[in-house]
C-alpha cells in the first residue's frame, strides 16, 4: 500500500511540473471514465451540470422528513434517523430536535455537512458526535445528511468538486428541514467540515437567500486551479488512491471536454463558486487549525480576505496547534465561536 501511494505521489508531482495533466488523469482514471462519460447527444454534459447559472435554474424541493428510527435522546434533545428525497433517491441522516416549548415560529435549524469519509466505512451515528451535540444542546434542530452512497442512502458516491450531486443533496435537505413542522423556515444555517466546506460554498452562491449563516471548519474552499493540480501534495497527509478516485470523479471527462483552468479559464469561471462571491448574502465564519496536515489553512484565509474586500460579512479564526478537526485543546473555544455566530444570525 505504501509503495502504491508513493508511486501515485511521484506521478502527481510530474503532473504538476509538466503540461501532461490531462493525459495523466485520463490514464489514471480510464476505467472509471469509460463507464462515466456523458454523451452530449444523450444528456447534459458534466460541465453544464456544474455551472452555477445552470444550478440556479434548477429546483430543489426536498420532501417531508420521514422518521425512520428513534434513537436515545441527548441531554436536552431527541435524536432520530430520518430520510428525505433528493433526485428520487432516498437519503438518510441524523436529526436532532430540542426538548421544551417550541418557539412561536419554530426552532432555528442547522444543516450539518460532514467532510470526506470513505463511503464504504461511513456510518450515520458515528463521527462528529461532539460537534452535533454542541449545536443541538444550544437550541437548534440539527440535520446531518448522509450523502448519496453513504451508509443506507441510495445512489452512488460522487465528487464534491466535479459533480453537483452532493450540493443537490444538501439543498434538498434544506428544503426538507424547512418543511419540518418544528422548524423556523426563515432561520436556516449550515455547518461544514473539510470537503463539506466546498459544498457550502457552492450552496451559498446557488441559493442566495435562504441560508442565513454558514460556518466552515478546515474548508476546502480553494479555486479550481488548486483542485485540479492535486493540492493534497502541499500538506503532509496524502489520501489513498481509492479515495482520490472518488473525489476526482468526472474530472477526466471535464478536462477532456473543456481543457484545464489555464487553457480555458472562461469555462472554469462558470463552475467556480469563488467567481460568484459578489452574489453571496450569507454571513460566513471560517475556522482553521494552524497545524492542519490535510487542508492548507490559507484556503480559508484567502476566502475571508476576498469576502471582506467586497464588503461581505466574514470572520476568520485560526487556532494555534489546531489540527484538521480543531480538536482539543481548541475544540471548546472553536465551538463557542461557532455557536455565538449562529446565535447572532439565527436567533
- pLDDT tier at 32, thresholds 50, 70, 90: very low
Answer whether residue 300 shows pLDDT above 80: yes
Answer whether residue 266 shows pLDDT above 60: yes
The pLDDT value recorded for residue 236 is 86
Residues 3-22: tens digit of each pLDDT: 444 443 333 433 333 333 34
Residues 284-297: tens digit of each pLDDT: 999 999 999 999 99
The pLDDT value recorded for residue 4 is 40
Task: Identify which has the larger pLDDT, 1 or 127.
Answer: 127
The pLDDT value recorded for residue 5 is 40
Over residues 313-337, mean pLDDT: 96
CA distance 80 to 71: 5
Cβ-Cβ contacts under 8 Å for 294 (sequence gap 6 or more): 194, 218, 232, 235, 237, 324
What phi, psi does 176 have (nearest 5°)? -70, -40
Q: Return the number of other C-beta atoms located less than 10 Å from residue 45's C-beta.
A: 16
Residues 61-104: tens digit of each pLDDT: 999 999 999 999 999 999 999 999 999 999 999 999 999 899 99
pLDDT > 70: percent of the chain? 88
Domains by residue range for the chain, with CATH: 42-242+260-346 (3.40.50.1820)
Amino acid at each position: 500500500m505504501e509503495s502504491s501511494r508513493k508511486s501515485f505521489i511521484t506521478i502527481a508531482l510530474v503532473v504538476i511540473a509538466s503540461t501532461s495533466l490531462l493525459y495523466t488523469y485520463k490514464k489514471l482514471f480510464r476505467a472509471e471514465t469509460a463507464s462515466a462519460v456523458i454523451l452530449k447527444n444523450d444528456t447534459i454534459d458534466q460541465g453544464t451540470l456544474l455551472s452555477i447559472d445552470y444550478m440556479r435554474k434548477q429546483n430543489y424541493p426536498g420532501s417531508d422528513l420521514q422518521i425512520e428510527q428513534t434513537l436515545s435522546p441527548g441531554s436536552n434533545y431527541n435524536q432520530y434517523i430520518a430520510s428525505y428525497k433528493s433526485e428520487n433517491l432516498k437519503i438518510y441522516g441524523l436529526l436532532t430536535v430540542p426538548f421544551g416549548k417550541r418557539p412561536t415560529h419554530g426552532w432555528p435549524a442547522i444543516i450539518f455537512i460532514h467532510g470526506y469519509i470513505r463511503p464504504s466505512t461511513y456510518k450515520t451515528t458515528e463521527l462528529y458526535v461532539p460537534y452535533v451535540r454542541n449545536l443541538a444542546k444550544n437550541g437548534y434542530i440539527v440535520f446531518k445528511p448522509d450523502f448519496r452512497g453513504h451508509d443506507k442512502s441510495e445512489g452512488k458516491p460522487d465528487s464534491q468538486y466535479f459533480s453537483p450531486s452532493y450540493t443537490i443533496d444538501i439543498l434538498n435537505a434544506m428544503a426538507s428541514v424547512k418543511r419540518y413542522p418544528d422548524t423556523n423556515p426563515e432561520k436556516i444555517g449550515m455547518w461544514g467540515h473539510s470537503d463539506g466546506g466546498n459544498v457550502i460554498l457552492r450552496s451559498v452562491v446557488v441559493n442566495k437567500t435562504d441560508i442565513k449563516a454558514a460556518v466552515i471548519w478546515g474548508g476546502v474552499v480553494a479555486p479550481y486551479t488548486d483542485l485540479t493540480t492535486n493540492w493534497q501534495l502541499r500538506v503532509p497527509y496524502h489520501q489513498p488512491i481509492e479515495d482520490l478516485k472518488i473525489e476526482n470523479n468526472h474530472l477526466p471527462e471535464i478536462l477532456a471536454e473543456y481543457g484545464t483552468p489555464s487553457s480555458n479559464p472562461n469555462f472554469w469561471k462558470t463552475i467556480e463558486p469563488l467567481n460568484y462571491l459578489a452574489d453571496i448574502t450569507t454571513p460566513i465564519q471560517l475556522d482553521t487549525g494552524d497545524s492542519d496536515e490535510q487542508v492548507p489553512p490559507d484556503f480559508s484565509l484567502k476566502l475571508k480576505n476576498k469576502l471582506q474586500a467586497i464588503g461581505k460579512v466574514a470572520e476568520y479564526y485560526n487556532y494555534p496547534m489546531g489540527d484538521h478537526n480543531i480538536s482539543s485543546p481548541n475544540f471548546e473555544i472553536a465551538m463557542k465561536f461557532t455557536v455565538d455566530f449562529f446565535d447572532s444570525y439565527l436567533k
